[in-house]
Amino acid sequence: MAYTGPFQPGDKVQLTDPKRRHLTVRLTPGAKEHTHKGAIAHDDIIGKDEGSVVESALGTEYLCFRHLMVDHVLSMPRGAAVIYPKDSAQILVEGDIFMGARVLEAGAGSGALSMSLLRAVGPEGHVFSYEIRDDHLDYAVANVEDYFGERPQWWSPRLGDFGEITPEDLGGKVDRVILDMVEPWEFMETVRDVLIPGGVFMTYVATVPQLMKTMEKIRELQCFTEPRAWETLLREWKVEGLATRPEHRMNAHTAFLVWTRRLADGVTPPRPQRRARR
């Protein structure tokens, strides 16, 4: 799939009608999309610039744009709950997922985070995505391959238990580890063993007990920096003259993010100094 330039065969295109309803098509020369507003010929879209309008046989106009990654993630089939874009964005930046990084993630789930990681590290990097359930791994592989049009060569989706991974399985230690599973605190020894000194670890946990157990385990192991925890709240706004205001509805809670870095071997974390209370 192309990401830029005029539409090409194989592109996934989102068509939006005047009532803002979406229809997604994969462009195939000679094919037609049949709607109750009449057929839309794929050949009328191929070769046009993004942001063009195509007309159905009955005269309805559709605005055409390529499917963005965010559209793909929110509409793709899923076996497990996905990490939402507002949180993947935090993971990419706070987790410092750099071009060329070697990243280990688990569970792969539906592959939503895998896609963001794969785009961020690029072909010079590598993403290892472990998943314990074969049915979930099938979703992840299908969704990632559908998005990229093929399996990225820098991706290793693997069926397996995160707790059993060793650096040898990964061809050496990794730069970043990202966990999205129910009990990350049970796997912190594995994180310790596979993460390079200075490497960043992040995990995504939905509830306060999970957050507390994870923070406690990180402190107990004495080989990580003092962990940070936060959540992000995203509130959309309606901007229409005097009616400008926040939207009434929002996804108030998705999950908490926990962040820490691996210390060099043999170093214990310096005791955090807190100001004495007056």
Ligand X SMILES: C[S@@+](CC[C@H](N)C(=O)[O-])C[C@H]1O[C@@H](n2cnc3c(N)ncnc32)[C@H](O)[C@@H]1O
Query: Where along the sequence are the contacts to ligand X (CB under 6 A)?
Result: 80-83, 106-107, 109-113, 130-133, 136, 161-163, 180-181
| Residue 113 phi, psi dihedral angles, 5° rounding | -70, -35
Residue 132 or residue 229: which is nearer to ligand X going by CB? 132
Residue 7 or residue 204: which is nearer to ligand X going by CB? 204
Least gap, CB of 256 to ligand X (angstroms): 14
Residue 112 or residue 218: which is nearer to ligand X going by CB? 112
3-state secondary structure of 30: coil
Residue 181 or residue 194: which is nearer to ligand X going by CB? 181
Residue 105 or residue 175: which is nearer to ligand X going by CB? 105
Distance CA 160, CA 57 (A): 50
Least gap, CB of 102 to ligand X (angstroms): 18
Least gap, CB of 210 to ligand X (angstroms): 12
Residue 64 or residue 181: which is nearer to ligand X going by CB? 181
Least gap, CB of 92 to ligand X (angstroms): 13
Bridge partner residues of 65 (DSSP): 14
Distance CA 257, CA 90 (A): 9
Least gap, CB of 89 to ligand X (angstroms): 13
Residue 85 or residue 269: which is nearer to ligand X going by CB? 85
Amino acid at 262: R
Burial bucket for residue 115 (CB in 10 Å: 0-12, 13-18, 19+) = buried
Backbone conformation region of residue 135, classed left if phi is above 0, alpha if psi is from -120 to 50, else beta? alpha
| Residue 170 phi, psi dihedral angles, 5° rounding | -110, 5
Least gap, CB of 100 to ligand X (angstroms): 22
Residue 133 or residue 213: which is nearer to ligand X going by CB? 133
Helix axis angle for 85-94 and 112-121, nearest 10°, is 40
Q: Torsion angle, CA of 269/270/272/276, rounded to 10 degrees? A: 150
Least gap, CB of 107 to ligand X (angstroms): 2
3-state secondary structure of 90: helix
Distance CA 145, CA 110 (A): 12
Q: Are 133 and 163 in contact (CB under 8 A)?
A: no
DSSP string spanning 172-217? S-EEEEEE-SS-GGGGHHHHHHHEEEEEEEEEEE-SHHHHHHHHHH
Least gap, CB of 186 to ligand X (angstroms): 8
